[in-house]
Chain A
Amino acid sequence: MDKTFKGRSLSQSFDWKLVIMYLLLVFIGWMNIYASIHSSDPSSILDWNFRCGKQFVWILTAFGLASLILFVLPSRLWETGSIIMYMGVLVLLVAVIFLGTETKGSHSWFEFGPVKFQPAEVSKITTSLVLAFIMSRSNYKISNIKDFLITLAIIGLPFLVILAESETGSALVYVGFVFMLYREGLSGWFIVLIGMTILLFILTLTTSTYTAVAVLLSAILLFNAANARRSMHWLLIFIGIILGVALFPWLWNSILETMVPGASVIKDVDPMVADAIRYSARAPWMLRIRPLYILLLVAFGFMPYLLRKSYIEKNTFIGLSVLAFLAGLFLSYSTEFIFNDVLQDHQRSRIEVLLGMKEDLAGVGYNVHQSMIAIGSGGFFGKGFLNGTQTTYGFVPEQSTDFIFCTVGEEWGFVGCFVVILLYALLISRIIRDAESCREHFTRIYGYCVAGCFFMHLFINVGMTVGLMPVIGIPLPLMSYGGSSLWSFTVLLFIFIALHHEEKKYF
């Protein structure tokens, strides 16, 4: 065993690319934490009194943890100890409800002097390990209802406890495990259906019906392209249509602005001024037309043709797509109706707060608005390192933790956002590729769990800062300030690197 290890160079046995991407993200995160607080004048980036200095310590300790996992701890431990660790963390999760300190309305933190620790962070790791352990047993079959229920229970237990801690964000991350389940044999349509339902619900409430319908349409078109015989051909056409649909409201507003000068501000101005704008417009009736109506009109216009095509070609997929579109439309409209007309005020505000549509302290959507202003003001190239006004002057709340992406957006612009998101995407896809290359089911399943967690965190966090997702306080992996979060993602990732390395040792 030792011989084999020595016989191969380190660079061949570890996935160094993963490690490099990890280091890059941690470093970018650290720089941006510094930028986000530099207006309070830390003496240097290492100043222990400030978050940038503290983060440096968390980073060093994280490196220590990573080394421990890579070089000291036997990788067998993760498989054999998984159930005990899972149980232990579950106990902690319950205990924290009674023993933890209260932070922002939820009991989810243990505090030991300067160190705060959130069991929910660790729970991701242990749950992933147990899932990998159970599902990699030779007699496990996901199609077996008993096995499936056990799997659901493993995910569901910590999920529910964390929900009870009112850490909605951390709980939502568990949805990321469905990607692993899908990989291990669960029908894809099951996921798509659930995913679309949730997405439509949230999009309708947080953005607009137009966005919801446009996303629904895009999804259906993409599935159809994938299902069609000449996939690439259709994919190109559909991407064109999707871009058109996405750009249409913007285009419409430009047309509207030329026909009705002032149309873009009409919602925000004094009613008298609004009347004056309407009065002076060349075509005031255009104000009543909404982009959504035009989109629906076109969509309904195509429907008879599609249904006929489906019937003649005996292509049920097209028919089902039309049905899915109608169902989605119905869902979106009924969501809006139920939410606005059926629910009572207090019920509505509870959902609004849950979805982050209403911040009970600082006004409706304050966080998201500020965060979007910060990111939006960055423009294409950004304002430059340490030159941000929104993030450095502290308009964005939680700027070094959950909203760290705002600093990236403001100071580095679209270019910076692109690089950071691309890094994450590469990291995740690299994990998936590595996982696929493993012969050990345990490693593969665990790898998918890791990828799922990273993806959920990335999508929810960035989606939240740009207003696509409700404000759910979860950190951006590796970049957000905080030891607890950095350590758990380091451990999560490096267990996988160690397992993957272990595999390389043998083959």
Chain B
Amino acid sequence: MEIQKSSKLLIGLFVAVGILLTKIFFIQVFDNGYKEDATNNSMVYDVIYPTRGTIYDRNGKIIVSNKVAYDILVTPREVQPFDTVMLAQILNVSEDFIRDKMKEYARNRSRIGYQSMTMIKQIPSESYMRFSEVQYKFPGFKGLARSIRDYPFNAGGNLLGYVSEVDASFLKSHPEYRSGDYAGKTGIEAAMEQELKGEKGYHIYLRNSKNQIESAYENGAYDKEAVPGNDVYTTIDAVLQQYGQELMKNKVGSLVAIEPSTGEILSLVSSPGIDVEMLADISKHYNDIIKDPYKPMFNRAVQASYPPGSVFKLVNGLIGLEEGVLKPEYAYPCNHGYPYGNRKLGCHGHRSPLILEDAVMMSCNGYFCYVLKNILENRKYDSIQDSFTKWREYVMSFGFGHKLGSDFPAELGGNIPTSNYYDRIYGKNGWKFTTIISLSIGQGEIGVTPLQIANLSATVANNGYYYIPHIIKESENVKIDDRFKERNYTMVDTTQFQKVRGGMWKAVNAPAGAGGTAHVAAVEGLDICGKTGTAQNPRGADNSVFICFAPKDNPKIAVAAYVENAGFGATWAAPIASLMIEKYLNGEVKRADLEKRVMDGNLMSRVKKD
């Protein structure tokens, strides 16, 4: 009996010892969590943030560079009782802000461990200087110099884009980033994030329980220096971009300029946009931007889907020529419009009949109704579905109805309806040319982006091909995709384009009284070719549209201006676009009166807010 009891006690002893050893085995061999914790605990990773790459314009002017701002970091475990009032005054924040932050850290202390937390971001250097003088009074607090973006040119927030601290959802889709990192979120900053960001470096230190740094770990053998981001050269002309911003001030719309011979985007203005002043510290202004009824974040140049209006007549004319249903010498009558059934698609008063060149010059609606009618009712095709599908293929080949494939992020493709679409609405045999007659003049179901109509302008300038518009120039460090070096031909033969270009030249340069719609755009010696457009806007006054290129031979620049609720193409869009061309080609603007009228023009009150 007694012997048995001592054996039981011995068994109990070894069971207890077994429990201890099992637990030890678990935390030492099975559970890796403790090993990671240990590294975090004794080593301090002092992260060195790389300087972000500089962004240059096409002429080597800096449009985005870096300047220094200071973050205030706290290592909660190192903090001793301190004078909250004094700290709040120095850092220019409220005492409650500091108290709340400290409470938050206390709540999460087990998660934070010995890490440093960013308490305040980007304080101005004066505040930082004040802080550094008394820093010794606040153990656990330190300033971290961080480079933030600096904008010597007001080249527009939507174009450049902003850089901000990564958030949870960004981290989820980009696992290579860590909380506290910054990344480009829109515009060029986002498009060129990989090039601009550089590589983080770190110094590793060992630290003791009193949180003093004891030494560099392995004498810095594992330290890594930060690699600065690559510089990026853009195709933007900073001077032109800034000028465009000024022209579009107090107007809603966009202004896009492209170099036709390369597809390089010279300027890309979306108005109203985000001021570069706001970009550096976007989070502070974020609420204002979100609340702004004009939606400055919305990059109209590449995202808005507008009816093109009369500039689309060029496309229909070219398709008619290629299909053989239109000849330059064909003349059609127009008596204030094109009658069909008991309705009429109206036109303005002009002499009649007109040939193609004059119809382009005067932007005759009636003429282009005949053109589209002949395209769609072509005997070559069995049904309107077939002829319409063919027409759509032509239109798509001009870069409409799909994304152009630009390197600018968040580009949208607009919309060109399909025959199925009309079948669905009107029934299989329920529609004919007159049902969709407004497509003749670029109205109706068509949606195009300003970038796409600028591209149309460039295509006409090139006599039938375009390069995909892009914003990044090839440089030593940055290669661009081969797709930007290929010519994209439309389905219309290059010989046809001469036939509409004459009309575009006359629209601008015909003598006064001849009926040219864009006489206001003429600049002596520049040989600007242009086409006005006035697109109906269901939300108020018509949109003013103008595309143009210059000079007529070997064009250097193609521009599209699209101004919402601004009325006739000739009133606002044409002057704006022609001023851009004058500025770009001549370097200075002689038409000071026109420039003043445009810059002073405020059309914001015409635009309906959401």
Chain A interface residues toward B at CB < 8 A:
39, 179, 182-183, 188, 215, 222, 246, 250, 268, 270, 272-273, 276, 280, 363-365, 369-370, 372-380, 389-390, 393-395, 397, 409, 413-414, 417-418, 421-422, 424-425, 428-429, 432, 436, 455, 459, 462-463, 466-468
Main secondary structure of the interface of A (DSSP, over half): helix
Alpha-carbon distance A385/B14, docked complex (angstroms): 28
CB proximity to A under 8 Å, residues B1-40: 2-3, 5-6, 8-10, 12-17, 19-31, 33-35, 37-38
Residues in B with CB closer than 8 Å to A268 are 111
The minimal Cβ–Cβ distance linking A452 to chain B, given in whole angstroms, is: 9
Residues in A with CB closer than 8 Å to B13 are 425, 428-429, 432, 455
Alpha-carbon distance A466/B9, docked complex (angstroms): 24
Contact status A459-B33, CB under 8 Å? no
Residues in A with CB closer than 8 Å to B210 are 394
With A374-B38, A390-B42: A379-B168 Cβ-Cβ less than 8 Å: no
Contact status A421-B38, CB under 8 Å? no
Main secondary structure of the interface of B (DSSP, over half): helix
Residue of B8, B17, B37, B43 with highest tally of chain A CB at under 10 A: B17
Alpha-carbon distance A373/B206, docked complex (angstroms): 16
Residues in B with CB closer than 8 Å to A395 are 41-42, 209
Alpha-carbon distance A390/B41, docked complex (angstroms): 8
Closest A residue to B167 using CB positions: A272
Residues in B with CB closer than 8 Å to A413 are 28
B208 at interface (Cβ–Cβ under 8 A)? Answer: yes
Residues in B with CB closer than 8 Å to A374 are 38
Contact status A393-B33, CB under 8 Å? no
B327 at interface (Cβ–Cβ under 8 A)? Answer: no
B473 at interface (Cβ–Cβ under 8 A)? Answer: no
Residues in A with CB closer than 8 Å to B29 are 379-380, 414
From A246, A363, A422, give the contact of B109 (CB < 8 A).
A363
Residues in B with CB closer than 8 Å to A393 are 42, 206-209, 214
Contact status B22-A276, CB under 8 Å? no
From A183, A250, A390, A414, give the contact of B38 (CB < 8 A).
A390
Contact status A421-B5, CB under 8 Å? no
Closest A residue to B32 using CB positions: A376
The minimal Cβ–Cβ distance linking B17 to chain A, given in whole angstroms, is: 5
Contact status A179-B24, CB under 8 Å? no
Contact status B5-A182, CB under 8 Å? yes
Alpha-carbon distance A360/B37, docked complex (angstroms): 22
Residues in A with CB closer than 8 Å to B42 are 389-390, 393, 395
**What interface size band does chain B fall in?**
35 or more
Q: What would be 20 A-B contacts, judged by CB atoms less than 8 Å apart?
A: A183-B9, A188-B8, A215-B19, A246-B22, A250-B26, A270-B168, A276-B169, A374-B38, A375-B27, A393-B42, A409-B28, A414-B25, A417-B21, A418-B24, A421-B20, A455-B16, A459-B16, A463-B23, A466-B24, A467-B27
Residues in B with CB closer than 8 Å to A270 are 168
Contact status A183-B20, CB under 8 Å? no
The minimal Cβ–Cβ distance linking A202 to chain B, given in whole angstroms, is: 13
Contact status A179-B38, CB under 8 Å? no
Contact status B30-A250, CB under 8 Å? yes
The minimal Cβ–Cβ distance linking A278 to chain B, given in whole angstroms, is: 12
Alpha-carbon distance A375/B22, docked complex (angstroms): 13
Residues in A with CB closer than 8 Å to B23 are 463, 466-468
With A183-B9, A378-B28, A409-B28: A363-B34 Cβ-Cβ less than 8 Å: no
Contact status A373-B37, CB under 8 Å? yes
The minimal Cβ–Cβ distance linking B111 to chain A, given in whole angstroms, is: 6
Contact status B9-A179, CB under 8 Å? yes
Alpha-carbon distance A372/B37, docked complex (angstroms): 10
CB proximity to A under 8 Å, residues B133-192: 168-169, 171-172
B110 at interface (Cβ–Cβ under 8 A)? Answer: yes
From B26, B33, B35, give the contact of A379 (CB < 8 A).
B35
Residues in B with CB closer than 8 Å to A418 are 21, 24
Chain B interface residues toward A at CB < 8 A:
2-3, 5-6, 8-10, 12-17, 19-31, 33-35, 37-38, 41-43, 109-111, 168-169, 171-172, 206-210, 214
Residues in A with CB closer than 8 Å to B41 are 370, 373, 389-390, 395
The minimal Cβ–Cβ distance linking B264 to chain A, given in whole angstroms, is: 40
Closest A residue to B214 using CB positions: A393
The minimal Cβ–Cβ distance linking A380 to chain B, given in whole angstroms, is: 6
Closest B residue to A455 using CB positions: B13
Contact status B6-A377, CB under 8 Å? no
The minimal Cβ–Cβ distance linking A465 to chain B, given in whole angstroms, is: 9
With A409-B24, A425-B14: A389-B6 Cβ-Cβ less than 8 Å: no
With A39-B214, A183-B5, A272-B168 given, can you name 20 additional A-B contacts, CB distance below 8 Å? A179-B9, A183-B9, A276-B168, A365-B110, A372-B27, A372-B34, A373-B38, A376-B28, A390-B42, A393-B42, A393-B208, A394-B208, A395-B42, A409-B24, A414-B24, A425-B13, A428-B13, A436-B3, A462-B20, A466-B23
Contact status A466-B34, CB under 8 Å? no
Alpha-carbon distance A266/B151, docked complex (angstroms): 41
Contact status B28-A375, CB under 8 Å? yes
The minimal Cβ–Cβ distance linking B208 to chain A, given in whole angstroms, is: 5
Residues in B with CB closer than 8 Å to A414 are 24-25, 28-29
Closest A residue to B20 using CB positions: A462
From A373, A378, A468, give the contact of B19 (CB < 8 A).
A468
Alpha-carbon distance A409/B27, docked complex (angstroms): 10
Alpha-carbon distance A432/B10, docked complex (angstroms): 8
From B5, B16, B19, B24, give the contact of A417 (CB < 8 A).
B24
The minimal Cβ–Cβ distance linking B583 to chain A, given in whole angstroms, is: 47
Contact status B34-A376, CB under 8 Å? yes
Alpha-carbon distance A421/B24, docked complex (angstroms): 11
Residue of A250, A393, A421 with highest tally of chain B CB at under 10 A: A393
Alpha-carbon distance A250/B27, docked complex (angstroms): 12
Residue of B14, B15, B28, B29 with highest tally of chain A CB at under 10 A: B28
Residues in B with CB closer than 8 Å to A215 are 19
Residues in B with CB closer than 8 Å to A455 are 13, 16
Residues in A with CB closer than 8 Å to B109 are 363
From B3, B34, B169, give the contact of A375 (CB < 8 A).
B34
Alpha-carbon distance A268/B33, docked complex (angstroms): 12
Alpha-carbon distance A179/B214, docked complex (angstroms): 48
Residue of B6, B10, B206, B210 with highest tally of chain A CB at under 10 A: B6
Residues in A with CB closer than 8 Å to B168 are 270, 272-273, 276
Alpha-carbon distance A421/B42, docked complex (angstroms): 27
Q: Which 4 A-B pairs have the closest CB atoms?
A: A376-B34, A377-B38, A394-B209, A389-B42
Residues in A with CB closer than 8 Å to B10 are 429, 432
Contact status A466-B6, CB under 8 Å? no
From B21, B33, B111, B214, give the contact of A421 (CB < 8 A).
B21
Contact status B28-A417, CB under 8 Å? yes
Residues in B with CB closer than 8 Å to A436 are 3, 6
Contact status B110-A363, CB under 8 Å? yes
Alpha-carbon distance A397/B208, docked complex (angstroms): 12
From B12, B14, B27, give the contact of A376 (CB < 8 A).
B27
From B20, B35, B207, give the contact of A468 (CB < 8 A).
B20
With A373-B34, A395-B41, A417-B24: A222-B171 Cβ-Cβ less than 8 Å: no
Residues in A with CB closer than 8 Å to B26 are 250
Alpha-carbon distance A188/B111, docked complex (angstroms): 45
Residues in A with CB closer than 8 Å to B37 are 373, 376-377
Alpha-carbon distance A365/B109, docked complex (angstroms): 12
